[in-house]
């Protein structure tokens, strides 16, 4: 079997690059192509839908082909779609085509996420899963830096050479396409072929012993591709999908303190959800439009590189603090970390400073705070998911948190900014929405076992 170091970094690089292209690079692209903030946030907000609803088709993916097959297929599809996107940008119907292709990439990327995470579990034993979790997270973030930082900077450098906006972004998306296709070619040889359940593609939803009990068919026989084995596998998959979903639904909605938990999951990230789409546009808009007029190169360095590093560093420190002092003791300090630093954008919108070091410092501080506070949020989701069907319940939690904390606030953020008079009142309103975060945190019930989360 191939060594984990030969495929884990590239697998998670391939997981983050398409997400960065759809959810982050698209913001800068649409801003430079002349769309309004209302249009940009609404369109790109909808593109997040696949990551919200991916638990719905996760069991189907588990029951068809292998996870290795899905990973390779999705990387090829994403690469092809990005290439097609690059060729359609200079056309008159670029907006319709780009939205359709971004949505295709989003569904493919969400499917890739399902299979990559499942493959990581199947290909490694428990000890190695723990050993390499830091490596996978690091390379996921490297992909975000490359997409939101390096590739946006590439588009800016091309435009500095007097290349048109359309052509510069076409070349940039061709570069992402090339990276995805090279990853697919590399993974064809580098990805291991786990024995047993990976060949059936059903380990996530059904264990090997359950499958044998259901049809009395040995696993090795079902891999032969005989008609009987194919029918049996399909029957098991179809019948288990609905039961699996219903069982998870029942467990989730019978959890204790469900109402306060749902309020927390949906609303805790409301201020950050509003900021996520607007901050990149604010940094890029001209001084006359109320922005800071950063170039693509400056934006890629400040927000796409330093910002992501700050977010990653905050997450690491937040995890250490919770492990040392416990979640209950660190809850309110970390909640303050994710809310109060948002005030830097109020200051930036009023001063419109042109000092790049000052702008970079403000963005870095806010992103470090976001990373610190998000640790609290993630660990609460983990604790809430403990018990029966914990993995499936956690997938429900992440779907709800993306819906309430990213997708819906992001979709309306541009409209809200335009309606209340621009960036200055918008950022003041975001500080007001921090009260919502405080309220749902005050209502939260932390299970007693969280007192002993210290390592």
Per-residue pLDDT at 193 exceeds 90:
no
Per-residue pLDDT tens digits for 377-422: 888 888 888 888 777 788 788 888 888 888 999 999 999 999 999 9
Quote the pTM value: 0.81
Round to whole Å and give the CA distance between 146 and 314. Answer: 19
From the candidate CATH numbers 1.10.540.10, 1.20.1250.20, 1.10.1040.10, 3.40.50.10210, the one assigned to the domain spanning 1-197? 1.20.1250.20
Per-residue pLDDT tens digits for 28-71: 999 999 999 999 999 999 999 998 888 777 777 777 788 899 99
Specify the CATH number of the domain 253-455: 1.20.1250.20
Q: How far is CA 415 from the centre of its chain?
A: 23
Round to whole Å and give the CA distance between 360 and 292. Answer: 12
DSSP 352-393: ----HHHHHHHHHHHHHHHHHHHHHHHHHHHHHH-STTHHHH
Round to whole Å and give the CA distance between 142 and 397. Answer: 25
pLDDT in the model for residue 108: 95
Round to whole Å and give the CA distance between 415 and 434. Answer: 19
Cα angle: 82, vertex 73, 167; to 5 degrees: 10
CATH 1.20.1250.20 in the chain, residue ranges: 1-197, 253-455
Through-space distance between the first and last CA atoms of the chain, rounded to whole angstroms: 33
Per-residue pLDDT tens digits for 254-306: 888 889 999 999 999 999 999 999 999 999 999 999 999 999 999 999 998 99
Round to whole Å and give the CA distance between 238 and 232. Answer: 10
């Amino acid at each position: 079997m191939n060594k984990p170091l030969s495929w884990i970094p590239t697998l998670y690089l391939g997981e983050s690059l398409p997400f960065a292209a759809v959810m982050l690079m698209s913001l800068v692209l649409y801003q430079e192509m002349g769309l309004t903030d209302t249009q940009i946030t609404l369109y790109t907000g909808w593109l997040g839908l696949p990551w919200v609803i991916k638990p719905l088709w996760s069991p189907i993916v588990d029951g068809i082909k292998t996870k290795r097959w899905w990973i390779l297929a999705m990387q090829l599809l994403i690469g092809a779609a990005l290439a097609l996107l690059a060729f359609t940008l200079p056309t008159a119907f670029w907006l319709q085509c780009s939205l359709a292709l971004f949505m295709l990439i989003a569904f493919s990327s969400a499917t890739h996420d399902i299979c990559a995470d499942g493959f990581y579990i199947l290909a490694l034993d428990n000890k190695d899963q723990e050993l390499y979790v830091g490596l996978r997270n690091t390379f996921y973030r490297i992909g975000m830096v490359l997409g939101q930082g390096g590739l946006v900077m590439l588009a800016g450098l091309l435009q500095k050479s007097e290349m048109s906006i359309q052509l510069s972004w076409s070349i940039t998306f061709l570069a992402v396409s090339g990276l995805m296709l090279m990853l697919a070619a590399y993974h064809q040889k580098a990805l291991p072929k786990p024995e047993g359940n990976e060949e059936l593609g059903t380990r996530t939803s059904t264990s090997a012993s359950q499958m044998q009990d259901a049809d009395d068919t040995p696993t090795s026989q079902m891999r032969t591709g005989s008609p009987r084995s194919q029918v049996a596998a399909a029957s098991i998959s179809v019948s288990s999908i609905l039961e699996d979903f219903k069982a998870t639904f029942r467990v989730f909605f019978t959890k204790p303190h469900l109402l306060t938990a749902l309020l927390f999951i949906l609303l805790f990230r409301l201020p950050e959800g509003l900021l996520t789409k607007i901050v990149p546009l604010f940094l890029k808009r001209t001084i006359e439009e109320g922005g800071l007029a950063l170039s693509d190169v400056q934006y890629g360095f400040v927000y796409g590189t330093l910002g992501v590093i700050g977010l990653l560093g905050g997450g690491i420190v937040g995890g250490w603090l919770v492990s040392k002092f416990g979640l209950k003791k660190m809850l309110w300090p970390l909640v303050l970390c994710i809310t109060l630093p948002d005030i830097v954008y109020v200051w930036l919108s009023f001063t419109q400073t042109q000092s790049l070091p000052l702008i970079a410092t403000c963005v870095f501080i806010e992103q470090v705070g976001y990373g610190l506070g998000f640790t609290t949020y993630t660990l609460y989701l983990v604790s809430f998911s403990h018990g029966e069907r914990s993995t499936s319940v956690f997938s429900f939690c992440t779907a709800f948190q993306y819906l309430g904390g990213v997708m819906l606030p992001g979709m309306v953020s541009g409209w809200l900014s335009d309606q209340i008079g621009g960036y200055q009142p918008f950022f003041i309103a975001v500080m007001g929405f921090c009260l919502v975060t405080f309220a749902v945190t005050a209502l939260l019930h932390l299970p007693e076992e969280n007192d002993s989360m210290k390592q």
